[in-house]
A and B are shown apart, each in its own frame.
Chain A
């Protein structure tokens, strides 16, 4: 059974720091991995999606990497800002034909201090 873990559960950093959020999954047979941002009381916003054949994706100050063999993905945030404060979730899609199911981690709650 696929399990997705995100450590740490919470992180507090000063503004301007570069930081890395981690996501681990137990079954390397994934179709893709997606990183989301969730603001308090709001829905999720997709940040980056990495297909299983890709190693990384970049969008602005965000860079996500994927290492299927080790069951890991990282989300790198450069020059963090207070507006980056949110909960970040990763989700993996199973590599099983006929299904369309994402397994989510429980998230890392990030606070960037001004």
Chain B
């Protein structure tokens, strides 16, 4: 049972380059999320998706693009990376059913450094 995986786990890139972080979950959960974690800010939601082809902005969406053509994948793209986007990025998923909890399951994270 693979659960939720992220790739790459570590990435170093340069300012202005495009970077795509991958997220894959094997549970067929409806909801998927992208967060960034920075010292002093905790986790902040970048984008989330309620289902395939349905996405919505979170707290800090600027500079990021997402897509969700398949339920199991939710890639996050930095179109032109900036140093302020150096962070640890977490993907999460949740199964939202009537009467069930909104427990979120997190991937291991991607540590991104923008030089």
Q: Indicate if the CB atoms of B102 and A89 lie closer than 8 Å.
A: no
A100-B31, A106-B42 are contacts. A93–B108 as well, Cβ < 8 Å? no
Q: Whole-angstrom distance from the CB of B73 to the nearest CB of chain A?
A: 18
| Of the residues B59, B90, B101, B103, contact of A43 by C-beta under 8 Å | B90
- Count of A residues near B, CB < 8 Å? 24
Q: Hey, what's the 0/1 contact readout for B36-64 against A, CB within 8 Å counting as 1?
A: 00001111110010100000101100000
Bound CA span A105–B50, Å: 23
Q: Considering only CB atoms, which chain A residue lies closest to B38 in the complex?
A: A106
| Of the residues A46, A49, A102, contact of B105 by C-beta under 8 Å | A46
Bound CA span A4–B41, Å: 11
User: For the complex, is A19 an interface residue (Cβ under 8 Å from B)?
Assistant: no
Q: Which B residues are CB-close (under 8 A) to A41?
A: 109
A43-B90, A100-B31 are contacts. A89–B43 as well, Cβ < 8 Å? yes
Q: Whole-angstrom distance from the CB of A106 to the nearest CB of chain B?
A: 4
Q: Whole-angstrom distance from the CB of A80 to the nearest CB of chain B?
A: 23
Interface set of B (CB-CB < 8 Å, partner A): 31, 35, 40-45, 48, 50, 56, 58-59, 90, 92, 96, 101-109
Q: Indicate if the CB atoms of A32 and B102 lie closer than 8 Å.
A: yes
Interface centre among A43, A91, A102 (most CB of B within 10 A): A43
Q: Which B residues are CB-close (under 8 A) to A55?
A: none
Bound CA span A44–B92, Å: 9
Q: Which A residues are CB-close (under 8 A) to B96?
A: 100
Q: Hey, what's the 0/1 contact readout for A44-72 against B, CB within 8 Å counting as 1?
A: 11100101000000000000000000000
Q: Indicate if the CB atoms of B59 and A101 lie closer than 8 Å.
A: yes
Q: Which B residues are CB-close (under 8 A) to A28?
A: none
Bound CA span A94–B74, Å: 23
